[in-house]
Structure 1
Amino acid sequence: MSSTADRGTHDPRRDFGDFAVELDTVGIGSVDPELCHRLWTECAGRARFAEAVLRAAAAAGVSVDPESTAFADWVVELCPRLSLALGSGDTAAASVLAQLSAVSETTAVRALTAVADDLLGGIGIHDPEGVLIRLRSSGILTRFEDSARGTLLKVPTLIAAKVRHDLRAEVSAEPVVASLLDVLVDHMESAGLVEPELLSDVLLLARHGGHWSQLLRVCEAVGMPMFLLTPRTSCTVLRVLPLKARTSRPGLAFFGSLAEDITADAADDSPARIRAAVIRHTGPGMLRSRLPGKLGDSELNVEEEESRLGEMLVDVIGTVWQLIRLADAGRHGEAAELGIRASAEMRSARARSVVRLLTAIALHHAAEPRRALSVLNEIEGPARAGHVEGDFLLPSIIAWTALIAAVSGDHERADAHLAESDAPSGISRAGSEADPAAAPADSPPTVIIDELVTPPLRIASALRALDRLDLERAEAEFGALSAYPEMRTLWVYLPLIARTLAVLSAEAESGLLFVNDDAQRFQDSGVLSDAEKDLIALGRSTVFIALGQLRWAEIDRDRLSPACDGRIVLDVRSKLVAGRNDEAISCADTWFYHHSLSPRSRAELAAVRAAAKLRTGDETGAQSDFRMAVSLSTWVSSLLPIALLPLPDRSRLIDLTTDSPVWADAANEFSATFAPPAQLVERLRSIGPVSVDIAETPQLNAGEAQLIDLLARGLSVAEIAEELNQVTGTVKNRLSALYRKFGVSNRADVLIRARSFGYLA
């Protein structure tokens, strides 16, 4: 057909010279050369179609803007039907590609292969590459280079608008768009990196056609990074969604409300302001209120969730909600198993990675670091390939890998991921290893859902700084963590870090007491797992040992779970501080090669055993054990096993082993912190000055502890004698010895002292 109302011939493609001449001869007046060239490009050399565009614009009194999609969509409705002078297959292909702004050749071939059947009655396109060549030769498809995406194909703007308009007038338009959406969403669900222009096209097609299920699939396939990739389009498409679409699909309600708040917050619709608003509205604690229902508002039923796995194919938000609820209830093992099962049923690669990230976090809280690191390792590669600047997924994988590796003793992996987080790239955070002050505590987040990135990253950095005795870095990270608004159960690391710092750096006993009492202020929210409770008890017991309050240390030690090898180390350390050196050596010998002991704990036992042998006069054995302790500490990349020894013992052991080659290895391992090797030894000679070497508080044996308990019950001497099956004279002698041990002379005072030392509740 003609591109004009009164001509029955086709509108052939012209080269630019002939195109300009024909426009000059149709009586529409002189056309600016630059505008003429733009019209030639966007009309694919069709002069009669360009003439119709100019006449329509002149009649309406609007400026001609050939590259504007809005202008093109308006003006083509005023132009006669366009005949492309192509075969039916090529015309169908042009109709498909006209739905998209710019695509790679691979995406074009995929779309044509899958969608053309809807236009050709099942005939299909068997040579899509050949079709693309013919469309290019006819000017219906142009090729251009994009600096980021490479070579792209595009239907000129005015031609694309006209083809779309003509297709909508036909019955076949709706199934074509639906099929095209299905193909492109499938591609996004499996693709590593989503092209922004393609995402924008798909969002608009789904919204304009009312394809709500497909729109939800797009949201789940791309996730919140769609607000970073296509800020304007995402907000335009998702805000003010129809009520039916929101109520029947909680995922759309989630993304829709987020889009509305982002739009209201952004001062204008500039991409930079929208991206900044996205980061603000996904900041610490912000997203929980958007989840479908209040967390913890009903009894969690994992069996019911398992039966709904089929629904999870399109309900990623619901799955995330359930995982968070389980985690908040302290049911981390159940959350991990649910996450593994649910992720296997999800079509979207990104949705699987997000759910598996939460699964790894649950495994960490459930004290399964190896499984957690395995899951994180599996999703790190795909996340790296599809990383979008400002997205949380890859930075959070790096942060949690660093934290879990640091906690479980995999220092090489922890250091590698911490180093990457400090690298100047799209996944970096503020600050650097060399200058922790460069990342102020109040610096705004630079990624969405920052609460999954900054806390674990800073905790890992603080723990590794403590391992290196880099107290300045540890204090800087601790300060930033203390100011962070949302920690959830990760708050348990704050008192551990604070107490360890205090043991290493406090200059008076009051400093240790203050930190121990002040730790309660760090409590945030969530139910603590056994592993997290162990961290609290471990830190408290360590401080009490440093203070020489061994009974209080024992109370916290008894709270540790049976699987925690810290129980063994604290017991041996307490024996050393109590002056029971032979018992400390015997206990260390018993447990040293036990399979449950971690390499770091083994280093601590070697150090304590060396100090105990030194006190008994066995200098040769002490030197041997201390060299082993230094070697093991170097191997596990932590100086804490040595630094936590009482200072007098530590200094004497360093003197005895100064010429040992183990110190050269240690200097090499910790050279990043202590450039001159002498600084390392100097730090070890000065750190932890307050910790006591011998406890001054009375240490009770089992019989004495029983006697204290009987006194506290108010029993008389005669009643105590009857209870113990002893004569009253023996009981009186034992009580006198007990009074002398506490430095008192009567029952009331000994009970007061015993209570203050923790022997009575």
Structure 2
Amino acid sequence: MSSTAEGEPQDPRLSLGDFIVELEASGAGPADTDLCRRLWTECAGRARFAEAVLRAAAAAGVSVDPESSVFADWVVELCPRLSLALGSGDTVAASVLAQLSAVSETTAVRALTAVADYLLGGIGIHDPEGVLIRLLSSGILTRFEDSARGTLLQVPTLIAAKLRHDLRAEVGAAPVVADLLEVLIEHMESAGMVEPELLGDVLLLARHGGHWSQLLRVCEAVGIPMFLLTPRTACTVLRVLPVKARVGRPGLEFFGTLAEDITADAADDTPARIRTAVVRHTGSGVLRSRLPGKLGDSEPNVEAEEEARPGEKSVDVIGTVRQLIGLADAGRHDEAAEMGIRAAAKMRSVRARSVVRLLTAIALHHAAEPRRALSVLNEIEGPARAGHVDGDFLLPAIIAWTALIAAVSGDHERADAHLAESDAPSGIRRAASEVEPAVAHSDSPPTVIIDELVTPPLRIASALRALDRLDLERAGAEFDALSAYPEMRTLWVYLPFIARISAVLSVEAESGLLFVNDDAERFRDAGVLSEAEKDLIALGRSTVFIALGQLRWAEIERERLSPSCDARIVLDVRSKLVAGRNDEAISCADTWFYHHSLSPRSRAELAAIRAAAKLRSGDEDAARSDFSTAVSLSTWVSSLLPLALLPLIDRDRLIDLNSDARAWAEAAAEFSDSFDSPAALIARLRTIGSVSVDVATMPQLSAGEAQLIDLLGCGLSVAEIANELHQVTGTVKNRLSALYRRFGVSSRAEVLSRARSLGYLTP
């Protein structure tokens, strides 16, 4: 493609004055000086080309609009071939850059270095920086300042349109566009940030050239945020894709149908309305129905894909996401995590890898592997920050899930740091203690795509940390907002847990605690629960039953905990305390206190319970020492719950014994956002959790007595019970009489009724 073709006069750059004079001399020049200036700019001072543009517009009877790309693309088809006063290499470079609307100098150099071989016989451009300088000097490139992107380079509108037209007409020049796409897409796949204008150019080039595989790569590299970065172009390019583009490409089917629905929903094509429609059509639970195939299908055959495309590290991103969600819904979190790790390693795009690794971290959390989950989240947080787009879910979701997993696993510093910096649409932008409860319970609609991965974990983390600080008002506000959220999936298990712990700390009557305990069952939602999630349900229930003194019910729930859950130990020791078996509580606490399986939080709880048991046994010095240890440990784990869950009578007496302890000053410093002095913190501990019983009034049965109750509940007669237990009937009758006295009744029917109401018989 030469600018000095034989028989074609060159069209040099003129000054503005000479440009106007030549136009007027040709008889085509307009009288409007402003229009002349605009033509001079968009034609790069080429008077002959401007004359051709004016004559073409006059012949067609249309007004001249030099800055309009639509006008430019139409009118250049009616103009003769463009012959610039440039060398062939510089003209080739200009033709390449004309494919793009505005680029940074770095992107321009990258494009010129990799693309121009097709037009220069394989010799390439070895001095792209020098080429850019010459193009700038000739006016074929112009510089302008963008407030967000800095200095950018741009080929004037009319010149760019003509260069694109001439390039398309050039024999053998078609591979240039494909090669340019390859370079730019590789840049998008590896870069932290995507320039909106460059994204728009790449989408249009891929669509107009029918480069469907490259179009899919763009979609996977940028994801749904492309509808936020370049709303109109993304919708224009992706809606109504031809059948041949969608066949065998589930990713294009996904993005294409999404673009169609967004376009139909938006009242007009203004960017703001399109962005609002994007958020709406990626709302809670909506995207699941868009994922191609059936959730839970077998894992994509990555090896087969690699055989079909030798040398490429590639995997179907949308298909992988579908599989991860399907495995999670089926409760197969270990499989989801391992699949996500393998699939992410084979993905070319930084964003695609980050999205899959986010889902992998969530699966690891559900599989009770918080350290691995936090490690994955920490690795993808940096790239997500570098490429964050306003309205995108990725960075807010990483922050939200980091806060939640850290809060659950006891890493309070990381949880608080991520809560403090969160910019999720729920309004939680500062540390939870700095935000008014009314702000936390915002009814404003979400402003990020796929909000279900952002708001629920963020609010749960905030509520859990509020409970740790005994900030029941804040916890209640977060709970109310979570209750109204339309899609929680298995995160619903945190709702009954938050409700039950809040009730133990706040209600003042047993009836209120019973009501909350029963009402919490209404939060059951979709999804198969993992072992960790089942543990959370059982932990909340058992805590309530211990507070009510219904120790048999508490034991039943405790037995449902997984063997690895250290809450079993804490609940067992707490039950012994409430049962009045103080020596057993002390012995059990001593046995487990230094065990490696116990978390620091559980160790703080054991220290507090042991202090109460020793106080009841009359050993005030030991109780004082243990309670001081409990306060220090609670400060260290940044949670006041180990102290607050003690029965109020014991808590008051222990505070009296330790009112002058230095540990209170350290605690007040740790919780300074909630309490301005040690006295304020102590006052709070004296006023909450009044409903919890200190000693259960219900009978505490031995294993033999519990077995006897079970046999009665099965409807066995005295003779049948005697046969079952290998005892004589007289012995069984004596044991039954003792059992009746224990329950304060006189008949089989009464003891069964009483035992059932107290939880010794389950349905």
**2:382 alignment counterpart:** 381
Larger mean Cα displacement after TM superposition, 23-32 or 163-172: 23-32
| Kept after mapping to 1: 8 A contact 2:507/2:513 | yes
1:586-601 residue pairs with structure 2 within 5 A?
586-601=587-602
Q: Distance in 1 between matches of 2:426 and 2:708?
A: 66
Give distance in 1, aligned partners of 2:355 and 2:693. 48
Aligned mates of 1:714, 1:425 — CA distance in 2? 56
Match of 2:143, SS state, is: strand
1:652 equivalenced with 2:653 (yes/no): yes
Contact 2:740 2:751 in 1 (8 A): yes
What SS does structure 2 have at the residue aligned with 1:152? strand
Aligned residues of 2:416 and 2:431 also touching (Cα < 8 A): no
1:225 Cα offset (Å): 0.6
What corresponds to 1:16 in structure 2? 16
For residues 405-459 of structure 1, the C-alpha deviation after alignment (integer angstroms, 9 at most, x for no partner) is 0000000000000000159999959998421312444320010000000000000
Amino acid in the other structure paired with 1:414: A
CA distance in 1, matches of 2:515, 2:147: 58
RMSD of the alignment, in Å?
2.2
Amino acid paired to 1:69: S
1:401-440 correspondence runs (5 A): 401-421=402-422, 428=429, 433-440=434-441
Return the letter of the residue paired with 2:405: I
d(CA) in 2 for partners of 1:17 and 1:430?
Answer: 62
Relative to structure 1, the CA distance from residue 431 to residue 753 in structure 2 (aligned partners, 3 Å threshold; closer, same or farther) is closer
| Identity across the alignment (%) | 83
Q: Report the Cα offset of residue 30 of structure 1.
A: 3.9
Which deviations, in whole Å up to 9, do the C-alpha atoms of 1:483-522 show, x marking residues without a partner? 0000000000000000001101012111111111112211
1:166 aligns with 2:163: no
Partner of 2:686: 685
Aligned to 1:456: 457
- Tell me the SS of whatever aligns to 2:686: helix
The one-letter amino acid paired with 2:122 is G
State the Cα distance separating 1:320 from its structure 2 match: 0.3
1:391 matched residue in structure 2: 392
2:545 paired with 1:544: yes
Q: Equivalent residue for 2:564?
A: 563
Equivalents in 2 of 1:314, 1:308: separation in Å? 7
2:326 is the counterpart of 1:329: no
Are the counterparts in 1 of residues 432 and 466 from structure 2 also a CA contact under 8 Å?
no
Calculate the TM-score normalised by the size of structure 1: 0.96
User: Offset at 1:678?
Assistant: 2.1
1:271 matched to 2:282: no
Aligned 1:108-507 pairs, distance under 5 A? 108-296=108-296, 300-302=297-299, 313-421=314-422, 428=429, 433-507=434-508
Give the conservation status (yes or no) of the 8 Å contact 2:396–2:423.
no
Whether 2:700 is the aligned partner of 1:703: answer no
The reply to whether residue 95 of structure 1 matches residue 95 of structure 2 is yes
Give, in angstroms, the shift of residue 304 of structure 1.
Answer: 5.0
CA displacement, residues 217-265 of structure 1 (integer Å, 9 cap, x when unaligned): 0000000110000000000000000012112211001001111111111
CA offsets 1:20-76 (integer angstroms, 9 cap, x no match): 111121112543111111111111110111111111111211111111111100111
SS in 2 for 1:248: coil
* Residue correspondence of structure 1 range 571-610 to structure 2 within 5 A: 571-610=572-611
8 A Cα contact 1:192 1:382, kept in partner: yes
Distance 1:8 1:343 in 2: 55
Aligned partners of 1:689, 1:239: CA distance in 2, in Å? Answer: 61
Q: Pick which of 581-590 and 22-31 moved more.
A: 22-31
Q: CA deviation at 1:709?
A: 2.6
Paired with 1:609 and 1:187, the residues of 2 have a C-alpha distance of 61
Shift of 1:352: 0.3
For residues 335 and 199 of structure 2, what CA distance do their matches in structure 1 show? 35
Report the residue type matching 2:336 in the other structure: A
Q: Counterparts of 1:498 and 1:2 in 2: how far apart (Å)?
A: 76
Q: Structure 1 residues 423 and 201, CA, compared in 2 at 3 Å: closer, same or farther?
A: closer
Deviations 1:575-611 (A, max 9, x none): 0000111100000000000000000000000000000
Aligned to 2:49: 49
Contact 2:501-2:540 within 8 A present in 1 as well:
yes
1-structure distance, mates of 2:431, 2:746 = 62
> Are 2:44 and 2:156, in contact at CA under 8 Å, matched by a contact in 1?
yes
User: Are the counterparts in 1 of residues 358 and 377 from structure 2 also a CA contact under 8 Å?
Assistant: yes
Q: 1:554 to 1:308 in 2, by over 3 A?
A: farther
Task: Give the stretch that moved more between structures: 540-549 or 704-713.
Answer: 704-713
Contact 1:232-1:270 within 8 A present in 2 as well: yes
Q: Is the 8 A contact 2:709 2:752 kept in 1?
A: yes
Looking at structure 2, the residues matched to 482 and 310 of structure 1 have their Cα atoms a distance apart, in angstroms, of 48
CA distance in 1, matches of 2:338, 2:610: 42
Q: In 2, are the aligned partners of 1:548 and 1:694 still within 8 Å (CA)?
A: yes
Deviations 1:607-633 (A, max 9, x none): 000000111111111111000000000
Q: In structure 2, what is the Cα distance between the partners aligned to 1:306 and 1:579?
A: 63
Q: 1:429 to 1:99 in 2, by over 3 A?
A: farther
Shift in Å at residue 134 of structure 1? 1.2
Q: Which moves more between the two structures, 269-278 or 300-309?
A: 300-309
Contact 2:428–2:440 (CA<8 Å) still a contact in 1? no
Conserved 8 A contact 2:441-2:480 = no
Amino acid at match of 1:204: L
**Structure 2 match to 1:526:** 527
Listed as ranges, the gaps of 5+ residues in structure 2 are none
After superposition, the Cα gap between the structure-2 partners of 1:575 and 1:73, relative to the gap in structure 1 and judged at 3 Å, is same
TM-score by structure 2 length? 0.96
Amino acid at match of 1:66: P
Q: Per-residue CA shift, 1:303-337, capped at 9, x if unaligned?
A: 85676577882521000001000000100000000
* Distance change in 2, residues 1:216/1:725 (3 Å): closer
2-structure distance, mates of 1:728, 1:364? 55
Any conservation in 2 of the 1:2–1:9 contact (CA below 8 Å)?
no
Deviations 1:375-434 (A, max 9, x none): 000000000000000000000000000000000000000000000015999995999842
Give yes or no for contact 2:292–2:319 (8 Å, CA) kept in 1. Answer: yes
SS in 1 for 2:204: helix
Q: Please state whether the residue corresponding to 2:390 is helix, strand or coil.
A: coil
Aligned partner letter, 2:293 = G
Alpha-carbon distance in 2 for matches of 1:62, 1:417? 58
- Comparing 476-485 and 114-123, the one that deviates more: 114-123
3-state DSSP of counterpart to 1:686: coil
Asked whether the equivalents of residues 437 and 474 of structure 2 are also in contact (C-alpha less than 8 Å), the reply is: yes
Structure 1 gap ranges (5+):
none
SS of 1:257's equivalent in the other structure is helix
1:73 counterpart = 2:73: yes
Whether the 8 Å contact between 2:489 and 2:527 is mirrored in structure 1 is: yes
Structure 1 residues 201, 66: closer, same or farther in 2, change over 3 A?
same
Q: Write the distance in 1 (CA, Å) between the matches of 2:566 and 2:453.
A: 29
CA contact (8 A) 2:434 2:673 kept: no
Output the CA distance in 1 between the equivalents of 2:332 and 2:302: 14
437-446 or 252-261, larger mean C-alpha shift:
437-446
Structure 2: how far apart are the matches of 1:258 and 1:717?
70
Q: Distance in 2 between matches of 1:423 and 1:723?
A: 62
